[in-house]
Amino acid sequence: MAGYKPAAIQTYPVLGEKITQDTLYWNNYKPPYNYAVTASSRIHIYGRYSQEPIKTFSRFKDTAYCATFRQDGRLLVAGSEDGGVQLFDISGRAPLRQFEGHTKAVHTVDFTADKYHVVSGADDYTVKLWDIPNSKEILTFKEHSDYVRCGCASKLNPDLFVTGSYDHTVKMFDARTNKSVISVEHGQPVESVLLFPSGSLLASAGGRYLKIWDMLKGGQLLVSLKNHHKTVTCLYLSSSGQRLLSGSLDRKVKVYSTTSYKVVHSFDYAASILSLALAHEDETIVVGMTNGILSVKHRKSEAKKDSLPRRRRPAYRTFIKGKNYMKQRDDILINRPSKKHLELYDRDLKNFRVSKALDRVLEPSCTIKTPEITVSIIKELNRRGVLANALAGRDEKEISRVLNFLIRNLSQPRFAPVLINAAEIIIDIYLPVIGQSPVVDKKFLLLQGLVEKEIDYQRELLETLGMMDMLFATMTRKESTSVLQHTSDGFLENKKMES
């Protein structure tokens, strides 16, 4: 009797995805820590792996909207909804300084390069420069005609800072001239601005556009990017300065190369993104979302443990022939065949336990990490003609696991041909018992709707392919045909005519 042949696990590559160095780098982040946060009159500081805040500042009259650390990490400045700006020492809880002057909510604060001044922008259309030692207002700029929602200070020049407003403009102010020195038109309400460390380039985000400006040429537009489907809300630059990150309401974080300004990677999140930041040397990426979740991902350590090489034991022939024995001409070497170990689902298939084999590949550890194994076993069961037997006779918990997997992966083109067939079998088997479990009924109806939608998509794709074939057929060059004709001297001449 022939030996059992293991089930072939088919590889399903993700269509359109190219494996690059950026893909390997940005995919090297561990699953996120999620913190539930709400807008309140407190600012929480979390440790790297702590689920609870290690520090809380709560001396605000109203909701705190923004906060920024000084470069040395010792001071924190924050703005609140009531128009107040407060300065905290990280080692204490009470504010060191309070700056009163804004009449509406403060949405942006930052330290200047000399570390002794603070810039703030508010919904009262004003931008203010504060002196930290004296707790006094130095300058007030009233050039914006709408809410000032973003801003940043130059890291090289203590007199330069940039603000963005809902009046569609981005302005660079100079404290020495008491007015803006550069003003550019973004074209959309500006949600975020970012000044590169050299001070020569400025990035602005608003609407679906991300624009890069050359400040050394008076604010000349270098490039305009439109890679998001909804409003871009936040920007951040990597520690090396070679990658620019943007977050959007379309639930995506896109990574751009600062040399070509092309998207080199993309992150997907569960909700619309409002804020984004990277820790020192890009060890951590932090994203705040509209559902009140703060997502924190840590990059895996690239250092590998230097394990000592395992010492090989001498072969049997070493003991018989000696260490320096050389193979002779008449010697015959017989290799012992290595024993193949079957996977658990292969053992079940070998013993015709089809339901048990399907249960093993429906475990969460398999369906989430390696869904291609689950799809391959479903395909193998269908090839053997026992897929209906494996799916039948299941209770509420077991059928829910099957439905969850189908709902999660049915819309993926690489799995659709196999899973649509499995979904149709489930619908045929369990349709007569609908109504006995509310949980199963809800998932069953959702699965049925997904199958119908997928079939409609396939039909539309076939129609589109048919139209494209017709267009390509009409665009092909007309082939020349040969026709024999009689000449005046009575000989046949081969002439080419276009059909």
What is the per-residue pLDDT across 264-304, written as a single tens digit (0 to 9) for each?
999 988 889 999 999 888 888 999 888 888 888 888 776 55
pLDDT band at 498 (very low <50, low <70, confident <90, very high): very low
What is the fold, at CATH topology level, of the domain defined by 31-226? Methylamine Dehydrogenase; Chain H (2.130.10)
Strands (E) in 112-251, as ranges, are 117-122, 127-131, 136-141, 148-153, 160-165, 169-174, 179-185, 192-195, 201-206, 209-214, 220-225, 232-237, 243-248
Question: Distances in Å between the alpha carbon of 86 and those of 94, 103, 120, 411?
Answer: 10, 15, 11, 50
Instruction: Look at the block and give the residue holding tokens 């070679």.
Output: 242
Q: Decide: pTM greater than 0.85.
A: no
Residue 479 has pLDDT above 70, yes or no: no
Listed by start position, the domains of the chain span 31-226, 344-454
Bridge partners (DSSP) listed for residue 97: 87
Mean of the pLDDT values across residues 336-362?
A: 88
pLDDT band at 16 (very low <50, low <70, confident <90, very high): low
pLDDT given for residue 36 in this prediction:
59
Angle of the 396-409 helix axis to the 371-384 helix axis, nearest 10? 110
Q: Closest by alpha carbon to 61, among 83, 45, 77?
A: 83
> In this structure, are residues 120 and 132 in contact, taking their beta carbons and an 8 Å threshold?
no
Mean pLDDT of the chain: 83
pLDDT given for residue 414 in this prediction:
83
Distance between terminal CA atoms of the chain?
A: 63
Instruction: Look at the block and give the residue holding tokens 């930290």.
Output: 132
Mean of the pLDDT values across residues 29-35?
A: 71
What is the per-residue pLDDT across 40-95, written as a single tens digit (0 to 9) for each?
677 777 766 666 676 777 767 777 788 888 888 788 888 888 888 888 888 777 78
